Structure 1
Amino acid sequence: MKGGSNVAPVIIKKKKVVAGDGHHGGAWKVAYADFVTAMMAFFMLMWLLNATTEKQRKGIADYFSPTIAVNRVSGGGDGSLGGTSVFSENTLPKVGTGATSLHPTRDVAARGAITAPDSGAGKADMAKLEEALLGRGGESVLEENDLRHVELRLTDEGVTIEIFDLPDAPLFTDGNRTTPLLQALARGIAAAANAVENQIAVDAHTRSVPLVRSENPVWTDSATRAGVLRDLLTGAGLDEARFDRTTAHADREPVSANPMSERNNRLEVVFLRP
Structure 2
Amino acid sequence: MAGPANGQPIIIKKKKSGGGEGHHGGAWKVAYADFVTAMMAFFLLMWLLNATTEKQRKGIADYFSPTIPLNRVSGGGDGAFGGDTVFAEDALPQAGTGATSVNPSQEAKASGAQSQPFEKEQEEQRLEEVRDKLMALSGESDVHQEMMKHITTRVTDEGLVIELFDTDTVPLFTAETALPGALLERIAAMLVRVTSIVKNPMAVEGHVRARPIVVNQNPVWDLSTGRAEAMRQLLIQQHLPDARVIRVTGHADREPAVRNTMSPRNNRLEIILLRQVK
Output the TM-score relative to the length of structure 2: 0.58
Aligned to 1:236: 238
Which of the pair has more CA radius of gyration? 2
* Runs of 4+ residues over 2 Å off in structure 1: 61-64, 97-103, 119-123, 130-142, 210-214
Residue pairs, 1:211-250, within 5 angstroms: 211-250=213-252
Distance 1:90 1:247, change over 3 A: same
Q: Name the SS of the counterpart of 2:243 in structure 1.
A: helix
Which residue does the alignment assign to 1:67?
A: 49
**Partner Cα distance (2:220, 2:156) in 1:** 25
Percent same amino acid at aligned positions? 34
2:70 & 2:184 partners in 1: Cα distance? 37
- Give the conservation status (yes or no) of the 8 Å contact 2:127–2:198: no
SS of residue paired to 1:241 = helix
Query: Which amino acid in 1 is paired with 2:174?
Result: T
Tell me the secondary structure at the aligned position of residue 162 of structure 1: strand
Superposition deviation, residue 212 in structure 1: 3.4
| Unmatched 5+ stretches in structure 1 | 1-60, 72-86, 104-111
Q: Deviations over 1:29-69 (max 9, x none)?
A: xxxxxxxxxxxxxxxxxxxxxxxxxxxxxxxx999811199
Q: Name the counterpart of 1:165.
A: 166
Task: Please state how far the C-alpha of 1:185 moved relative to its aligned partner.
Answer: 0.9
Letter in 2 for 1:249: H
- What is the rounded CA distance, in whole Å, between the counterparts of 1:201 and 1:102 in structure 2? 35
Q: CA deviation at 1:102?
A: 8.4
How far residue 121 of structure 1 moved from its aligned partner, in angstroms, is 4.2
Go from structure 1 to structure 2 and tell me whether the alpha carbon gap of 1:62 and 1:137 turns closer, same or farther (over 3 Å shift).
farther
CA 1:101–1:121: 2 relative to 1, 3 Å: farther
The residue type paired with residue 235 of structure 1 is: Q
- Matched residues, number: 185
Could you say what secondary structure the match of 1:269 adopts? strand
Residue identity in the other structure for 1:159: L
Q: Name 1:199's counterpart in structure 2.
A: 201
Q: Which amino acid aligns with 1:215?
A: Q
Post-superposition Cα deviations, 1:107-143, rounded to whole Å, max 9, x if no partner, equal xxxxx9xx9xxx7345413322134334445653321
Question: Is the aligned partner of 1:176 residue 2:178?
Answer: yes
Partner of 2:37: none
Whether the 8 Å contact between 1:176 and 1:225 is mirrored in structure 2 is yes
- SS state of the match for residue 248, structure 2? strand
Q: When the two structures are superposed, what TM-score results if normalisation uses the length of structure 1?
A: 0.58
Q: CA deviation at 1:208?
A: 0.4
Q: Distance in 1 between matches of 2:70 and 2:219?
A: 42
2:261 maps to 1:259:
yes
Cα deviation for residue 101 of structure 1 reads 11
Aligned counterpart, 2:152 = 151
Judged with a 3 Å threshold, the aligned counterparts in structure 2 of structure 1 residues 146 and 255 are, in CA distance, closer, same or farther, namely same
Structure-1 separation of matches of 2:168 and 2:265: 8
Evaluate the alpha carbon distance shift between residue 166 and residue 136 of structure 1 in structure 2; reply closer, same or farther with a 3 A threshold: same
Asked whether the equivalents of residues 133 and 188 of structure 1 are also in contact (C-alpha less than 8 Å), the reply is: no
Given that residues 122 and 154 in structure 1 are in contact (C-alpha distance below 8 angstroms), is that contact kept between their aligned partners in structure 2?
A: no
**RMSD of aligned Cα (Å):** 3.7
Work out the CA distance in 2 between the residues paired with 1:141 and 1:126. Answer: 15
Deviation of the 1:215 alpha carbon: 1.5
Amino acid at match of 1:145: E
Work out whether residues 186 and 236 of structure 1, in 8 Å CA contact, stay in contact via their aligned partners in 2. Answer: yes
Residue 53 of structure 1: aligned partner: none
CA deviation after TM superposition for structure 1 residue 256, in Å: 0.9
